[in-house]
Amino acid sequence: MGHEDSAKGLKRWIDLATCLVATDADGAPLGFITLIEPGTLAYESANLRWFEAWQAEQGCDLLYVDRIAISKAARGQGLGQRLYAAAFDLARGRQWLGAEVNTDPDNPGSHRFHARMGFVRVGEKRYTPDYTVAYYARPV
């Protein structure tokens, strides 16, 4: 699996990322968004490598959204938009914020969400016969 399939792997991933966490009034986590700097070679991610190549090709500065997760209880309340707003604030001074969304298996809700947030599709890559992602970027 991935880099977070053990406690040690999870800690290493968190150490490499900037993680913004939304909590309720009692401090319980409701969701998070993680951001990774391009050039973080210790982070083994084909998606980050894709964005590094795109960034070099475009001659631009980008911050990569590795993932966003919202608890079931907090969905539909605008938390994803607020987490992305915080990510945009953190990325100020850069040109782009980049993210990927699965197309196979498809995640139509995430495609719609990113379009509503102003992201444009900048690429797509099939990694295996049953795994394809679309790459999105949005000016900051």
| Residues 25, 10: Cα–Cα separation, whole Å | 26
Fold classification of 7-139 is Aminopeptidase (3.40.630)
Reported as a single tens digit per residue, the pLDDT across 89-105 is: 999 999 999 999 999 99
Q: What is the pLDDT of residue 6?
A: 75
Tokens of 92: 């100020």
Q: pLDDT tens for residues 44-98?
A: 899 999 999 999 999 999 999 999 999 999 999 999 999 999 999 999 999 999 9
Which amino acid belongs to residue 107? N
Kindly list the domain boundaries of the chain, sorted by start residue. Answer: 7-139
Q: What's the rounded Cα separation, in Å, for the pair 116 and 80?
A: 12
Q: What confidence category does residue 2 fall into, taking pLDDT thresholds of 50, 70 and 90?
A: very low
Instruction: Copy the structure tokens of residue 105.
Output: 């298996």
Among 58, 64, 14, smallest CA distance to 39 is for: 64
Report the C-alpha dihedral over residues 62, 22, 75, 114, rounded to 10 degrees: -10
